[in-house]
Amino acid sequence: MGTIFYLIGIGLFVGFAAWFLFIWAVKSGQFDDPEAPKYRMLDDDDEPAKAVKPAEKNRP
């Protein structure tokens, strides 16, 4: 009977350790999508680009 409590304790410890490591990996960005940035440049913009005014030259 004592073995069951021992195994339950080990199981809980391993479960909490796995949960903690998963939370740490998510917060540190381990599951960020490495494929998305190369496709982001292909997305169409909803708004047309605004016209940029040429820089004024400083005239004395």
Query: What pLDDT, in 10s, does the model give residues 20-42?
Result: 999 999 999 888 887 887 787 77
Q: What pTM was estimated for this model as a whole?
A: 0.53
2 has pLDDT over 70: yes
The set of residues, in sequence order, having a beta carbon less than 8 Å from that of 25 and lying 6+ positions away, is 31
Handedness of CA 40, 42, 43, 47 (dihedral sign): positive
Residue reference for tokens 């410890």: 13
- Give pLDDT tens digits for 4-13: 999 999 999 9
Q: Is the pLDDT of residue 48 over 90?
A: no
Q: How far apart are CA 27 and CA 12, in angstroms?
A: 23
Q: Give me the pLDDT at residue 45, please.
A: 65
Contact yes or no for 31/25 (Cβ under 8 A): yes
In terms of pLDDT, which residue wins out, 28 or 49? 28
